[in-house]
Structure 1
Amino acid sequence: MQIVFQNPDRSLNPKESVAQSIARAVRLTGLADRAKVGAEVRSLLDRVRLPQRVADLYPADLSGGERQRVAVARALAV
């Protein structure tokens, strides 16, 4: 189980890109080996309906709704 906070501004690290943030959650679960983390990040972005270009952006570059979807993607990684 993973918490999705209502205010994603505080739950996302402003110094991590979206891909880094989701990848950290994927690695912590241990469900994907090192070679497959990138593919899992892309899959999670697809599941929350975010374009792949978002992976290289930082939370400050996203709208509130996009930040919320990144938080949901991190929760789904678990």
Structure 2
Amino acid sequence: IQMIFQDPVDSLDPRMTVEDIIQEGLRIQGFRDKKENHKKVVEMLNKVGLVEEHASRYPHEFSGGQRQR
């Protein structure tokens, strides 16, 4: 878990997709199965009002409000 400031561009690695960013946290917590992790990523995106297709996007491809989610 990390603090995401009002301008999330400074907090998110622009070279990683949203899925990679979320999966990094899952791997650190010990979740290793890639298929299960993908399902968890999709669940998390859905919880904040985003869809599975957003997982393959990079942070700069989101609007400001979407980045804050």
Specify which structure has the higher proportion of helix: 1
Give the equivalent residue in structure 2 for 1:68: 68
Structure 2 letter corresponding to 1:19: E
Separation in structure 2 between the aligned mates of residue 50 and residue 61 of structure 1, nearest angstrom: 13
**Runs (4+) of structure 1 moved beyond 6 Å?**
none
Q: How does 1:1-78 map to 2 (within 5 A)?
A: 2-30=2-30, 32-35=31-34, 36-69=36-69
Output one character per residue of 1:50-77: Cα deviation in whole Å (capped at 9) or x when no partner. Answer: 11111111011110111111xxxxxxxx
The number of residues matched between the two structures is 68
Q: Secondary structure at the match of 2:50?
A: coil
For normalisation by structure 1, the TM-score amounts to 0.76
